[in-house]
Amino acid sequence: MPTSPLAAAIDAYTRGRHSADGFYATELAPLRLMRVAGQTLPQYALYTPTLCLTVQGAKQAMLGDALFNYSAMEFLIVSVDLPILGRVTQASSEVPFLALILSLDIKLLQEVITQLDAGTEMSAADHAAHGVFVGQLDTQAADCLLRLMQLLDDPRGLAMLTPSIVRELYYWLLKGKQGQALRRLVAPDSHALRIAEAINLMQADVAATLGIERLASRAGMSASSFHAHFKSITSVTPLQYQKQLRLLQARRLLQARAANVSQAAYQVGYESASQFSREYARMFGTPPSREATAS
């Protein structure tokens, strides 16, 4: 039995579409749904700027040493691309884990902030923030998401009404208890968005060796300031972040059978296949050779 109107809508949409647990694409490109009928093992994934809402059940996310638990009608907001270790902690076949994942439009968020905060400025000190936070979704924001769900079988209505509904959703998120945290992360000159510029440079070529000075320059910071803010926002150092990016890309290559172990190691920037195998197994809990065979 679904535990809320939004849970009922997601349950109805996902039930019977395919038998496997996992993600469901929808008619609205930025919106995905998730349905899982049991607890899962921890698994790494690269989270983009996203609102991740647990609608039914519970989930746990780990970023570095920080743990984030969010259960029914609680959300996780991710402001920059981050490798996060996540697992479903509460689910069953009778009451499955249900979630809604909505990609964030940072420019639209900034527009809404500008309208809300006209005439005020945020100090540089306010920009220091972690790149992830958890909050409780209020009734008005939940209603916006329910209306989006109800439009998925109405292509014309979806095209016409989605922009105004998403803008309203952002309004309620910014007016809510976590509104200031969201402002800090997406303010035009926030440390988070400046760090995101350096992350974009890393992602453009995961195999490239990028010095701290070049990354700091891309973020418009001194090397020492960049290192401190990068770790504050991502919970890891730039070097650790790049290693995680490389290993995630290698896993995608192996799972798609686009490369063997040695080829994957080389393509993501490793000179030693044995070092690659050790670090891959440490991150994912299984050697890359087994991943390639399983794929």
103/9 same-domain check: yes
- Pair (228, 181) in one structural domain: no
Give 56-111 pLDDT, tens digit per residue.
999 999 998 899 999 999 999 999 999 999 999 999 999 999 999 999 999 999 99
Q: What is the CATH number of the domain that holds 26?
A: 2.60.120.280
| Domain that residue 212 falls in | 191-293
Q: Secondary structure of the chain: what % helix, strand, coil (to 5)?
A: 50, 20, 30
Which domain-ending residue is among 162, 186, 210?
Answer: 186
Q: How many CB atoms lie within 10 A of CB 112?
A: 20
Shared domain check, 127 and 104: yes
Q: Is the pLDDT of residue 271 over 80?
A: yes
Judge if 156 and 207 occupy the same domain.
no
Distance CA 60, CA 85 (A): 8
- Do 36 and 106 lie in one domain? The reply is yes
Count how many residues are written for the chain: 295
Return the DSSP state at 258. Answer: S
pLDDT digits (tens, 9 = 90+) for 14-37: 997 776 789 999 999 999 999 999
- pLDDT on residue 119: 53
- Domain's final residue, options 132, 163, 186: 186
173 and 80 fall within a common domain? yes
Asked if residue 179 and residue 144 are part of one domain, the reply reads: yes
Q: In what order do the strands lie in the sheet with 43-47?
A: 43-47, 82-90, 58-63, 66-71
pTM as predicted:
0.91
172 and 245 both lie in a single domain: no
Does position 121 have pLDDT exceeding 70, yes or no?
no
Q: Is 103 in the same domain as 46?
A: yes
- Average pLDDT on 174-185 reads 90
Residues 180 and 196 in one domain: no
The whole-number pLDDT of residue 250 equals 96
